[in-house]
Amino acid sequence: MVALDIMKVIEQTPRITPLEISKKLKISTQYVRNILPILAELGLVETPARGIYTLTDLGKYVLEQVTKRKK
């Protein structure tokens, strides 16, 4: 799932831009920009500064739980 991949990249590199995320995942920047507001609305990511994204505590928890279930 791309949303989880985006969250993993944000966890690994806090304060990352959509362009940097798209380069790391090799997907279009526009696709990343479409998903990030949804993740923000769900409370999984936040923007401490314009165009910069970090994972929230809830986002870290969700990512941890999903990772545990996949093992």
User: Which sequence spans correspond to the domains of the chain?
Assistant: 2-70
Contacts by residues 17-20 (CB-CB < 8 Å, ≥ 24 positions apart) = 17/51, 17/52, 17/53, 18/51, 18/53
User: What CATH number labels 2-70?
Assistant: 1.10.10.10
Residues in the chain: 71
Q: What is the pLDDT of residues 40-58, one digit of tens each?
A: 999 999 999 999 999 999 9
Q: What is the pLDDT of residues 8-27, one digit of tens each?
A: 999 999 899 999 999 999 99
**Residue 67 confidence (pLDDT) above 90:** no
Type and span of the H or E element at 56: none
pLDDT value, residue 7: 96
Q: Please, which pLDDT band fits residue 71 given cuts at 50, 70 and 90?
A: low
pTM above 0.95, yes or no: no
pLDDT value, residue 42: 97
